[in-house]
Structure 1
């Protein structure tokens, strides 16, 4: 183990109490997307306490700061954490339970933010031992389109100075605490929201000959749209089309005038993403017209697919093996969930990895976006130390 490796390990251990306290504060005081005002002030104050000069108000509530090592312009690595919470009422009975009714850090963004603050503290302490600059990016609104990442990029977060790479860390409730996961290339899916309104002519259910039944039309459309996946997609190209909301506001013997449908479209190829949407719109509108009605097909564009740069990810994984041991670094499967870190990955070399937080013996097994999500807080020592090591190894590479 190198001296620098050992220093980071010791600092991560020394600072874990502060990281945990920060996580508890953030967890008690969650804020929804684009409203992270108190969170942003807290982050900025923490950075100032380290002697840094944060830039506030980026994309509304984003915070950016630089930690300069030797030869600051030689190489720049960006480290990103998201800060927003979800509209979920927490069901956990813990001392740090959310104090905001109906709002909860159910996706681990409190962990990401507190971990990056811990990373900042370690790197600031060791800034004389690495080349280049670390750019800290505390980002709002990962959970809500158009995504805080896209807005921060528009406001220049990847400029002045421009990172040569971006690194992000996310909790993994399916990975045991103490382990880290990586995947090269395609990792997470693009996400688009679909809103369909199928219109016909309602009336008495006993007189179907006098109606243009939107319930029947909508049912045919939902089934038919799955053919876009089964008969137009290349089998090796992962795609998911799911509908989670179907509202036909009639009763047993009353057919409504219209039906509303909501769904999600996810894939890992930008050309196929657009082609699939065109085919779905054409099919839905055509079927409704052929049955005597109409269909309004609205798409709310979400995030692109997330791709981990192969060479960067291999370097990150090798560095993680150095820090954690090979037995604690695992390979990840494709994941059809979405993540706005994907915007960074489309324009700069990027690596998005997973921090294990699961502990079955302690009953910490709930998935993200659930009222009982929590983490094994042993991860709060691993997260800052590992990210510090990854950043320094990337900056000091020859």
Structure 2
């Protein structure tokens, strides 16, 4: 049976997959600077006799073609960049790059996809069609690598039937996966707002246009978008996380700079919020004598195709057992996988990596994030390979 073949190969390659993860974890690179990571991926694909091409700078796309006749294709995606976090784990594979760490599991995603490559390459006689291995750069930083890969024609294959992605989830025990059909992850917009007034002495406010006070009104007013304009049934988050006002105890600054984030699950409403933000900032600033500038940039939300996700759910049950597959709630984090999911049938699922008994449960984006390697890599590559081959067989 296909499952048995894949599980045997996954077990056989698990040591190499873990070795890949250790190398990647020791040598993390930030978004748009993943040259060493890309070179490592190319080296591994070349060793496996898998043809590859570059995309979006440091992106790599490998292609495995099955020996059976078929014109359809499945794309599997792993992101490859790391975060500006200083690792605090005391492990042999600790990051060697000061202030940079794979704290979001992208090393796990990349190593797992290299494992899929090994498995699929060994099973070319068992399937037809193509498996596209997408090693995507710059997921963590706008404008991201997904959009650039799409613009370079990644999704133009006429027979592309699915794009599959996975992401680590420390809240879920290793050996388990979770999925959610339909809207799953929020759009992720970065907000940059500048309010320009007229600075001066703090004891003479009547001679100035105080951008600090105006910024306070703007921050409060922006919260009304969520509490009074958003449909209560539509999750919406608008948070201002940074305020820079370079004044002093008795100095009113010339300008105030704000940064924040907007998250929601509906693209139409997202565009409406953009308009509300611009209108509120401009209106309040001008009414109080100041000028303003608003910049909004970000990614669309991730929406899992209902039919494809139902298929992946069933494939996961077949491979892992019903008790190890769960339905997830929405997740208000952002992901540029949405650039794929808005254009092609896609499924983005969560890979359990935690082990509460062993204390492996630190959240994503923390300096102590790690995974239960043995229980993760015994199944992560095998499951993704099984999903790909089952989808290719389901014409």
Q: Confirm or deny a common fold (TM above 0.5).
A: yes
Q: Secondary structure, in 3 states, of the residue corresponding to 2:155?
A: coil
User: Does 2:34 match 1:36?
Assistant: yes
* Counterpart mapping for 1:1-398 below 5 A: 3-55=1-53, 57-160=54-157, 162-299=159-296, 301-377=297-373, 378-398=375-395
RMSD of equivalent CA atoms: 1.3
Q: Distance in 2 between matches of 1:196 and 1:103?
A: 28
CA distance in 1, matches of 2:265, 2:286: 31
Asked if the contact 1:135–1:163 (Cα under 8 Å) also holds between the matched residues in 2, the reply is: no
Question: Which residues of structure 1 form unaligned runs of 5+?
Answer: none
Q: Normalized against structure 1, the TM-score is what? A: 0.96
- How many pairs are equivalent? 394
Instruction: Decide whether the 8 Å contact of 2:51 with 2:64 is kept in 1.
Output: no
Q: Judging changes above 3 Å, is the alpha-carbon distance between structure 1 residues 236 and 65 closer, same or farther for their aligned structure 2 residues?
A: same
Q: Report deviation, 1:243.
A: 0.6
The superposition leaves residues 221-269 of structure 1 with CA deviations (integer Å, 9 ceiling, x where unpaired) of: 0000111122222222211101100112222232222111100111111
Cα contact 1:59–1:148 (8 A) shared by 2: yes
In structure 2, what is the Cα distance between the partners aligned to 1:242 and 1:317?
Answer: 34
**Where does the alignment leave 5 or more consecutive residues of structure 2 unmatched?**
none
CA deviation map 1:304-355 (0-9, x unaligned): 1110000000000011001111111011111111111110001000000000
